[in-house]
Amino acid sequence: MATSGDPPSASMVLVPAGSEVADVNQLTREKYVKDDKIGEGTYAIVYRAHVRATGQPVAIKKIKISSQSEGISMDSLREIKHLQELRHQNIVNLLDVFVGKSHNIHAVLEFLAGDLEGIIKDTSCVYGSGDIKSWMAMSLRGLWWCHRNFVLHRDIKPNNLLYTMSGILKIADFGLARSFADPHANMTHQVVTRWYRPPELFYGAKHYGAAIDIFSMGAVFAELVLRAPYLPGSTDLAQLEVIVTALGQPSEQNWPGVTKLPQYCVTNDAMPPEVDLQGMKRQFQSMSMSGLQLLHGMLRLDPRKRVTARDALESEWFREEPMPTKPHDLPGKKGKEEQEKVGQDLKRRAGYDDVLNGDELIADRGKNVARRLDFGGM
């Protein structure tokens, strides 16, 4: 577990000017050898690489300069800034930053083997509740560290939860992250990939906190159990209808003040009440009561009623049998195909999917997802 006193692990050299700075940048650049390209997109190229002295595998993300006038995107700079500040075993480790010969910024990241999206969709992969507990515990520990350091991730989803060759899960892609130390600062509601976006953002909330990441992680939790996306909407309005159908219609009764949000609307005239534990049990029949209590606490409509990451980690669910699987025993392929998938993920502009925040790409996801799930007799 990292502490606030941990030394920084990344050297940030953004201006290759002056002999001293240029020398440091050159030394940093020469530490690594690029092996092969594993992903290329509009905003970045990702290479499989290694440390010259030790052979340790790493990934190098070459961030493209969009034009002479625009330079590096703010999303990319934001991602580098937060990864330098957040040092934790369950957050992807930024090892170095250097400027290449063509003045592109190169971010050197620890080598990652795959992501949770790949595991969920892999029809040959059988996993159980102990595995889900392990993934959720590691995800929540990383999220707890973000929130403890006043950082909102704002794009939690399965393909931003990556794992190492030894099975350690890491939160990645901090392109939409921002600090929330000032509770009165206005923030954009146009964040978080649609299927994992909490209702307050659809209603145009300008002030929000860590609860938005908790809702997203709850949606990931549900997806791991169902092996299918839990709240898949094709448009923003359809997404709200999906949320209301699964969790209930937000109202003054279950969420005081919600009708004052600028884009509040009623999507179901029947005004179904907020789902309770029995309603959750009907949706997740295989889960124990403590697991349902945790999931329900993460997916409350009113963000003020959602559990915190720390509360979630103290859930009884993590202490009942079967216990969380040891990371090195977790399922998940760690071969070249999965590494290339990670390369494809990393090439994206930070905080975005390849096309319009994933609207087109994710519309058909879920039709052919794997549904094999072994709960070990639970």
- 197 within 8 A of 155, measured Cβ to Cβ: no
Calculate the alpha carbon distances from 90 to 1, 110, 219, 327 in Å. 9, 12, 19, 12
φ and ψ at residue 12, rounded to 5 degrees = -110, 115
- 42 within 8 A of 36, measured Cβ to Cβ: no
Residue of 115, 131, 155, 213 marked active site: 155
Quote the CA–CA distance of 127 and 59 in Å, as a whole number.
28
Q: Rounded to a whole number, what is the distance in angstroms from the first to the last CA of the chain?
A: 31
- 76 within 8 A of 349, measured Cβ to Cβ: yes
Residue 359 appears among annotated catalytic residues: no
- 49 within 8 A of 37, measured Cβ to Cβ: no
Quote the CA–CA distance of 208 and 226 in Å, as a whole number.
28
Quote the CA–CA distance of 64 and 245 in Å, as a whole number.
42
Q: Kindly state the DSSP code that residue 317 receives in the 8-state scheme.
A: G
Quote the CA–CA distance of 320 and 297 in Å, as a whole number.
18
- 66 within 8 A of 349, measured Cβ to Cβ: no
List active site positions.
155
